[in-house]
């Protein structure tokens, strides 16, 4: 399948029946594709509204198209959104503490999180979640940003709620604290 076919098929997943005049529709994407503006079409689809959330196939097709267009950031974002669709997503306001270097913001870091779980002995247990920093490629020590987390094991995160504080660990002490603002986990 070539890039134009991928973008066309992804555009068909945009629900026109529920679109308002300001919403992105398949017609808008087709118009861009007819004028060979593939990158703009891909960027608009990447920014697709989340109500209702697009299916996994939407993000997989966009990731393939971005990869074929050699758009590294777009490819990473679409793969990330596919992971969110599979496992769910938690958004939080994170403040990074002392660390020797900035943390990468494009979903490559999978740190340990203390989310309140306990081991069989009653000691704190940590859980893994991928980390995407919104609107910036890195987050330096002392900086604050909105982050998106994709839990490795979503079932262990079901008790996490907005307003809860969680901590990021790369050892002791905790590296960062985050205030949960949204939780959208897969229930099945």
Burial class (CB in 10 A: 0-12, 13-18, 19+), 173: exposed
8 Å CB contact between 59 and 85 = yes
Q: What is the pLDDT of residue 158?
A: 95
8 Å CB contact between 88 and 150 = yes
Tokens of 154: 């979503």
Counted residue by residue, the chain has a size of 188
Query: What is the pTM assigned to this prediction?
Result: 0.86
Q: Measured between alpha carbons, how far is 49 from 53 in angstroms, rounded to an integer?
A: 7
Sequential pLDDT tens for the chain (188 residues): 577 777 777 777 766 777 777 777 777 888 888 888 888 888 888 776 566 778 898 899 889 999 998 999 999 999 999 999 999 999 999 999 988 889 999 999 999 999 999 999 999 899 999 999 999 999 999 999 999 999 999 999 999 999 999 999 987 778 899 999 999 998 66
């Amino acid at each position: 399948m070539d890039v134009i076919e991928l973008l066309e098929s992804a555009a068909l997943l945009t629900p026109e029946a529920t679109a308002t005049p300001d919403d992105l529709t398949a017609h808008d994407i087709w118009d861009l594709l007819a004028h060979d503006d593939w990158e703009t079409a891909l960027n608009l689809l990447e920014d697709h509204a989340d109500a209702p959330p697009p299916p996994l196939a939407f993000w997989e097709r966009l990731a393939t198209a971005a990869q074929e267009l050699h758009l590294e950031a777009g490819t990473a974002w679409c793969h990330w959104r596919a992971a969110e669709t599979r496992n769910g997503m938690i958004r939080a306001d994170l403040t990074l503490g002392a660390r020797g270097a900035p943390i990468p913001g494009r979903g490559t870091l999978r740190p340990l999180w203390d989310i309140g779980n306990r081991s069989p002995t009653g000691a704190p247990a940590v859980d893994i979640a991928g980390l995407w920093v919104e609107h910036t490629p890195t987050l330096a020590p002392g900086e604050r940003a909105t982050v998106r987390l994709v839990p490795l094991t979503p079932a262990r995160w079901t008790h996490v709620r907005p307003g809860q504080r969680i901590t990021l660990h790369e050892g002791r002490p905790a590296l960062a604290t985050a205030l949960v603002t949204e939780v959208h986990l897969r229930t099945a």
